[in-house]
Structure formats: C-alpha cells, structure tokens
C-alpha cells in the first residue's frame, strides 16, 4: 500500500504541465481583454446564437501593392486599416480602411484609380488641392480614408470622378503656377 501514497515523477510531470497550461490560459485571457479595450468599438460586433453570444472583430485589412514608376523604380504602397507601428509588437488599427490606390501620370493629366467596394457613390467624399487628393467614405457599413500626394500640380476645378463596380476613377488636368484652395469633387 505504501507505493500508492508516493507520487511518481510521471504523475508530477502532468501536474506541472496542467498548471503551466492554466497559467498560459490566464495570460491569453488577460491579453485579449487588453486588446479588446484598445480595439475600435465599431470593429467589434456581437450576435446571439442558440449557443450564446458570439463576439466578432474586424474586418482587419492590411496589404501593399508594388508598381514600377515612370522612372523605372518600384513604388510600394500600403493599404488597409492596420498599420504596423514603430516597434515590432505595436499595431495601429483604425476604423477606416485605406483603399488600394494607383496613380497614373500622363502628358496633360493625372489619373487616380481607387478600389472602394461596397459603398454608394453618394457616400464618397473627394477633396482636391493642387498637390493632393483626399478620398473619404463614412457610412455604417464601410469607412475608407486615403490622402494621396499627386505626382504633379493639378487644377482641382478640372477634376472629373466616376464610380462603377467598386472602382473610383478621378482625372485631374495638370497645371503650373500658383496654389489653389481645396475643391470638393462630385462623383458621377
């Protein structure tokens, strides 16, 4: 009977492993609670099911596009609503996604093409200056925001915009000379 009272090293291994798993579970729970506090509220949704409440986070979008510029050099552009921070562990999440955007410079104009799916054209707000174009969408379903530095000075009053099948296209005529104030652009 004395052999039953002593615990074998094998049994102690499982006790220690179980304790380690409990600590790990507590650590993950605390980490998710902290993440939830910092997460933008409108990216958290709850829905009731027959099994209880399910909490969903997102959408979280991050990507990049690589194009070759007119000078032959690659241009890398990030898009999405997640930005890696300065430190490896810091991530900045914003409520608005940054759309994928391509900018084309032609002889007499600059063309900006942006992917902004899932919105109505009436929700798209555009603002142009001689040097920048700002795309903004803010509706209950989707939020987009991007400020684009244009490769050449343009006449903001010459801007023409169209939106079809989730693709926004803005064409601006190039100019030289003095700076103008911002101009709102109507999407057709």
Residue-wise pLDDT for 103-132, tens only, equals 998 889 999 999 999 899 999 999 999 999
Looking at residue 89, its pLDDT comes to 46
Looking at residue 88, its pLDDT comes to 43
Is the full-model pTM beyond 0.85? Answer: no
Looking at residue 186, its pLDDT comes to 79
Looking at residue 64, its pLDDT comes to 73
Looking at residue 1, its pLDDT comes to 47
Looking at residue 20, its pLDDT comes to 86
For the 94-185 domain, the top CATH level (class) is mainly beta
Report domain extents, the chain. 2-57, 94-185
* Residue ranges for the chain with pLDDT beneath 70: 1-10, 35-43, 58-59, 81-94, 176-181
Cβ–Cβ under 8 Å, residues 67 and 74 = yes
Half-sphere exposure of 163 (CA within 13 A, CB side): 20
DSSP the chain: -HHHHSPPHHHHHHHHHHHHHHHHHHHHHHHHHHHHHHS-GGGEEEEEETTEEEEEE----EEEEEEE-TTS-EEEEEEEEEEE-SSTT-EEEEEEEEPPEEEEE-SSEEEEEEE-TT--GGGEEEEE-SSEEEEEEE-SS-EEEEEEE-SS-EEEEEEEEEEETTEEEEEEEE--SS----EEE-B-
């Amino acid at each position: 009977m004395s052999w039953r009272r002593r615990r074998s090293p094998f049994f102690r291994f499982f006790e220690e492993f179980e304790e380690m798993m409990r600590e790990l579970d507590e650590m993950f729970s605390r980490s998710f609670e902290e993440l939830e506090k910092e997460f933008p509220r409108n990216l958290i949704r709850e829905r009731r099911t027959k099994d209880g409440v399910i909490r969903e986070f997102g959408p979280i979008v991050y990507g990049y596009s690589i194009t070759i510029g007119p000078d032959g050099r690659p241009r890398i552009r990030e898009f999405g609503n997640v930005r890696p921070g300065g430190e490896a562990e810091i991530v900045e999440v914003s409520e608005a996604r940054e759309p994928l955007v391509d900018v084309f410079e032609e002889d007499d104009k600059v063309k900006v093409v942006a992917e902004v799916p899932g919105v109505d054209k009436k929700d798209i707000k555009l603002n142009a200056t001689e040097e920048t174009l700002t795309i903004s969408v803010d509706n209950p379903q989707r939020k987009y925001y991007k400020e684009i530095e244009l490769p050449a000075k343009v006449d903001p009053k010459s801007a023409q915009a169209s939106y079809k099948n989730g693709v926004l296209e803005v064409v601006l005529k190039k100019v030289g000379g003095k700076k103008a104030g911002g101009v709102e652009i109507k999407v057709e």
